[in-house]
Amino acid sequence: MMLVYAKIDSLQEKLTSFKSNISIGFVPTMGALHQGHLSLIEEAKKYNDIVVVSVFVNPTQFDKKEDLDNYPITMDSDLRMLEEIGCDIVFTPTANEMYEDGLKSEHFDFGGIEYEMEGAFREGHFDGVGTVVKRLFEIVKPHNSYFGEKDFQQLQIIKALVKLEQMNIRIVGCPIYRELDGLAMSSRNARLTVAHRKAAPFIRETLLKAKEMFGTENAVTVLQWVTDAFEKHPLLALEYFSIADEKSLKPIVQRIDNHDYRGFVAVMAGEIRLIDNIEL
């Protein structure tokens, strides 16, 4: 039977009752679960004795109040999905439980990756993510923790966090899960209007064409082509497109052998902000 805890003390009491050789896999989420989250949980189930999932909409990682206020909350169906998939323990804290000294973020030095892309467009976002994930890791003390590659920059930030804090946790990145028409799964997709939902697969299609172009053209040409493609689109507004080094996340200056590059995109589909990326 799946156990649900809202209090840190009761969760930790349960976790410390397990033998020391029991491995714990952890999937932190903000709820509004979809197939992408479930694929992380399936991965965690394969390699761990116990799977813990947290459901907590973390206020400190939102730079806009209306984005936080509108974030979908579907706790009943989340718990049903988690029970069905065979999750062992769910942690559903309140903001007071997680932030007993008030809603403040710690400031982290992640070596510069925090200032690129999402960091440049969403002020304080990665300090908020770092703060809550560090706290969750301290509470759950997992052996392995699973993150989706849709938030590729977040995945790199979490890898930097465990290094910085010297936490002995293996961070596992899992492939992007997509709808049949190619749109990357996201809790935010549920809030798209019918017209924007219909238009949204254009993001993936454009990334695929950019990948093809990057085989023969230089980055400046690809960048210009992607910018033009979105400028012509009536419903999708490009916030950024960046071809960046997978490790430093810095925009490419010149292609260097043995470096891996990715195309990263953020797009406004009406009121809803969508991100996606592609290995190049």
Identify the residue whose tokens are 């399936």.
42
Amino acid at residue number 111:
G
Sequence-ordered list of residues with C-beta below 8 angstroms from that of 16, at least 6 positions apart, any chain: none
Q: How far apart are CA 260 and CA 280, in angstroms?
A: 7
Nearest CA to 267 out of 184, 160, 164, 145 is that of 184
**Of residues 30 and 243, the one with the C-beta less far from ligand PAF:** 30
- State the nearest-atom distance from the C-beta of 120 to ligand PAF, in Å: 17
Residues lying near ligand PAF in the complex (CB under 6 A) are found at: 28-30, 58, 61, 129, 132-133, 151, 154
Q: Give the phi and the psi of residue 134 in degrees, each rounded to 5.
A: -60, -45
- State the nearest-atom distance from the C-beta of 61 to ligand PAF, in Å: 6
- State the nearest-atom distance from the C-beta of 54 to ligand PAF, in Å: 7
- State the nearest-atom distance from the C-beta of 199 to ligand PAF, in Å: 24
**Of residues 157 and 265, the one with the C-beta less far from ligand PAF:** 157
Give the tokens for residue 159. Answer: 């890898």
**Of residues 132 and 160, the one with the C-beta less far from ligand PAF:** 132
**Of residues 100 and 257, the one with the C-beta less far from ligand PAF:** 100
- State the nearest-atom distance from the C-beta of 28 to ligand PAF, in Å: 4
**Of residues 33 and 222, the one with the C-beta less far from ligand PAF:** 33
- The sign of the dihedral angle between the CA atoms of 185, 186, 190, 194 is negative
Q: How far apart are CA 144 and CA 119, in angstroms?
A: 25
Identify the residue whose tokens are 């903001």.
95
Residue 189 contacts residue 72 (beta carbons within 8 Å): no
Instruction: Tell me the C-alpha to C-alpha distance, in Å, between residue 87 and each of 15, 90, 101, 136.
Output: 14, 7, 31, 17
Residue 5 contacts residue 14 (beta carbons within 8 Å): yes
Q: Is 37 a known active-site residue?
A: yes
Query: One of 34, 37, 125, 196 is an active-site residue; which one?
Result: 37
Supply the DSSP string of 27-71, one letter for each residue: EEE-S---HHHHHHHHHHHHH-SEEEEEE---GGG-SSHHHHHTS
- State the nearest-atom distance from the C-beta of 40 to ligand PAF, in Å: 10
> What is the length of the chain?
280
Q: How far apart are CA 57 and CA 29, in angstroms?
A: 8
**Of residues 28 and 263, the one with the C-beta less far from ligand PAF:** 28
Residues recognised as catalytic: 37
